[in-house]
Structure 1
Amino acid sequence: MRNFIFLFFIGINLELYAQKQSFRLEGEVSNADSISTITIMVIGNNEISEPVSKVRGGKFVFEGYVEHPCLAIINSDKVKGGLGVWLTNGIIKVNLAPYKYEGQTEHRLQTLSIEGEQESKDFILQMNLQNKIVQSEKNILKRNTLIGDEIEKYINAHNNSYLSLFLVNQAMYYCGVQRTKKQFFSLSKELQYSEEGRDFQKEIEKTEQNDIGKKVEDFTVPDTQGQMKQLSTMIKGKTILNFWASWCAPCRHENKILIEHQKLLEKKSIAIISVSLDEDKGDWLKAIQKDKLNWPQLSELKGGFNSELAQKLKITGIPYTLLVDENLKIISTNFQDILSIVKN
């Protein structure tokens, strides 16, 4: 599953503290004697007193304020973060330990137990349930349906919970855009018109436009030499359209994966075309060279997400990857699913 995390630590004055919910996260790490520091990354506009905590006797503490319940990823100096902790008002007690799920190549800090508000407990229950389904059901269609059903059950029972809004975001992958749209509009008006809710409505619009079976709207964009290239004339068969930027770390990671699969892609007669949202040509060309990208590269080099192309295709986040056929008809909109198609 894919999790996209944006971290903003924005200073706020004392008059705003009363509007926020205070939390105290008391943690204990089991089976990891070598861990000496723990760090916390919180989504959204929140205040953490200190984002790094020393581990003493296997224990650590974080305190701060959150505008509303939200996800926090807990990392350490030895083991990367796993599912994370759902922060809510009040005291939360969590026991973590390194754990490796089936199919993973490394251990991650996962939650063994948690005490606090029910929403914090519900988060880990939902994540564990999804992982259990992933491990037990190998048929992708059945797996996605089962996970989508569980998400819908929770949303129907908790339509005013920020955890439900978080799960709706996940549902886009498992349920498809139409079912997810129905789930989103079953949430409370407060959630729908929250900042996160408005952002997700934009995601729905983008997904509806670029849904499986629909055609990507043709466009003409310069290549690295400044020559104008029309997408429809470049595509001769199945093609991966990869939207990225030099400053986007997850995009650079996807570049690496595409390089690793390039021979297999060629064997399957699947081409790649990358479209960058960079605005600085030097940064763009340097990233192409460093990542050793030897397939067509296009960019308007202006506007970023506000560029004409990004607005036309409703691109609101990157990396964003599509698999299309020779007629620009969309076959897949998910990077992992595209890799599965390539491998099978």
Structure 2
Amino acid sequence: MKNKKLLGVAACIGLLTWTGCQSSKGYIIEGTVDNAADGDTVELIYFDGMQPQIVQTTLVKDGKFVLEGKQDTAAMRYLSYRPIKGEGTSVELVLENARLSVHLTPGTYQYDIKGSPANERWAAFHNEDEQLCGQSMDIYHALQDSTLTPDKRAELEQQDRDLSAKIEQLRIDFARKEIQTAAGAYTLQMFGDRFPDTTVVNLIGQVPPMYMTAELQGIKEQYEQMQRTAIGQPFTDFTMQTPNGEKLSITDIAKAHKVTMIDFWASWCGPCRAEMPHVKTAYEKFHNQGFEIIGVSLDNNAEAWKKAIDQLKLSWPQMSDLKGWDCEGARLYGVSAIPATVLIKDGKIVARDLRGDSLMTLLPTLLK
């Protein structure tokens, strides 16, 4: 279960903004809107976290609008059309000091932005991404048909996998090409949770300081911590309280057993609960051979945590700081999705995120 939210597709920065430098002339956004009424509103917006902040507002006249200003460093902004009546629309663009032309068509997700190489490349990327996502949605709807034959369902599922891989590769390629720009960094921020870890590590090290948002800084710190707690590294100790209020550390458990598994979970996590029968099977089979588990809960409600331990009949040690996703143990191990596991032997991390058959296969070897 991921503690993440998908906010939208990323944009691209143009050839003239590789260094983040802008001309002194400022920007002019000249727009047209299909079927707009005089007095309809157009807003230039950025997001502070999840909260929209209005930079500028203007009114539509004769189907046209103009916004002018100055942008010190290229950045992603939303242009939102809000009609008095009817359906609105928005586009995301690279706000830079240039003369831009934007055509808004309510009801469509395709972008029509001209005037700078940055925005034209961005619009091309967005439109291709949107087209592929539309095809993916068509497949999803087709799969809801209960009358599909097994062969047809298998065919559609394969098409969906192929299309998903194509979308991911499109985004990775775009991020690689533009990573030293505002939009390249934004691409990584938006889609990095779906990229391979090695790709994220490589790209995030190339993001210029001016584009290192708080979100990207958090991702960078998470991956740095993951590298410090990667397979082959000494385990990182931490101490929390048991359900009875006693202090317990990873060292307390690891030093007394051949193999210790840190199991990050939470009472509210459906996949964690679904995995518990497999974890219990491994514990019951290998505990007497020197295998121990220590559960680290990302709960923030003590009663819910304790109730889940009783309901699931978890007999191994449990600990939590009841800070939810701010759990110190999760932070130290770069955990951003649960369930997550870390296996320790002889003071070192020997495996991560093993479960089910993979865990059952490896444990006999580790316990020799």
Aligned to 2:349: 330
Aligned to 2:166: 125
In structure 1, what is the equivalent of residue 20 of structure 2?
none
Whole-angstrom distance in 2 between the partners of 1:158 and 1:246: 41
2:206 aligned counterpart, secondary structure: coil
2:273 alignment counterpart: 255
Identity of counterpart residues, as a percentage?
20
Task: Compute the RMSD of aligned alpha carbons.
Answer: 4.7
Distance 1:3 1:66, change over 3 A: farther
- How many residues end up aligned between the 2 structures? 245
Alignment match, 1:20: 78
CA pair 92-281 structure 1, distance change in 2 beyond 3 A:
closer
How many angstroms apart in 2 are the aligned matches of 1:108 and 1:282? 47
Q: Which position in structure 1 is the counterpart of 2:305?
A: 284
2:73 paired residue number? none
- Displacement of 1:234 in angstroms is 1.9
Alignment partners' CA distance in 2, 1:109 and 1:16: 45
Task: Report if aligned partners of 1:278, 1:284 keep a CA contact under 8 Å in 2.
Answer: yes
How far 1:275 sits from its partner (Å)? Answer: 1.1
Shift of the 108–97 alpha-carbon distance from structure 1 to 2, 3 Å rule, reads same
| CA–CA distance in structure 2, aligned partners of residues 295 and 63 of structure 1 | 55
Distance 2:310 2:155 in 1: 32
Secondary structure, counterpart of 2:166 in structure 1: helix
* Distance across 2 between alignment mates of 1:124 and 1:21: 30
Task: Indicate how the Cα distance of structure 1 residues 315 and 89 shifts in structure 2: closer, same or farther if over 3 A, else same.
Answer: same
Please give the per-residue CA displacement for 1:88-118, whole angstroms capped at 9, x wherever unaligned: 4799452311478xxxxx98997979xxxxx
Distance 1:286 1:109, change over 3 A: farther
Q: Shift of the alpha carbon at 1:200?
A: 1.2
Q: Give the corresponding residue for 2:231.
A: 212
User: What residue number does 1:185 align with?
Assistant: 205
Question: How far apart, CA to CA, are the structure 2 residues paired with 1:294 and 1:211?
Answer: 28
Contact 2:296 2:329 in 1 (8 A): no
Amino acid corresponding to residue 245 of structure 1 in structure 2: A
The correspondence of residues 84-103 of structure 1 with structure 2, limited to 5 A, is 88=126, 92-93=130-131, 94-95=134-135, 96-98=138-140
Q: 1:273 aligns with which of 294, 308, 326?
A: 294
Listed one character per residue, the Cα deviations across residues 227-252 of structure 1 (whole Å, up to 9, x for unaligned) are 322322323122221223334x3xx4
Instruction: Please show how residues 144-183 of structure 1 align to structure 2 within 5 Å.
Output: 155-159=175-179, 160=181, 161=184, 162-165=186-189, 168-173=192-197, 175=198, 180-183=200-203
Aligned to 1:36: none
Aligned partners of 1:323, 1:13: CA distance in 2, in Å? 41
CA contact (8 A) 1:237 1:326 kept: yes
- 1:202 aligned residue (204, 208, 221): 221
Structure 2: segments with no counterpart, 5+ residues: 8-48, 58-66, 68-76, 95-124, 144-152, 363-368
Q: Greater CA radius of gyration, 1 or 2?
A: 2
Structure 1 residue 272: deviation in Å?
Answer: 2.2
Seen in structure 2, the aligned counterparts of structure 1 residues 92 and 287 have a Cα distance that, compared at 3 Å, is same
Whichever residue aligns with residue 233 of structure 1, its letter is: D
Gaps of 5+ in 1: 24-46, 48-61, 70-86, 101-105, 114-121, 131-149
Q: Which residue of 2 is the match for residue 294 of structure 1?
A: 315
C-alpha separation between the residues in 2 aligned to 1:158 and 1:206?
Answer: 25
TM-score (norm 2): 0.51
Distance 1:185 1:91, change over 3 A: closer
Q: 1:6 is matched with which residue?
A: 5
> How far apart, in 1, do the equivalents of 2:310 and 2:220 lie?
36
Q: Which residue is 1:142 aligned to?
A: none
State the 1:201 CA deviation: 0.9
Which secondary structure does the structure 2 equivalent of 1:97 belong to? helix
Question: Relative to structure 1, is the Cα distance of residues 163 and 326 closer, same or farther in structure 2, using a 3 angstrom cutoff?
Answer: same
Q: Give the alignment's TM-score, normalised by structure 1.
A: 0.54
Residue 299 of structure 1, CA deviation: 1.8
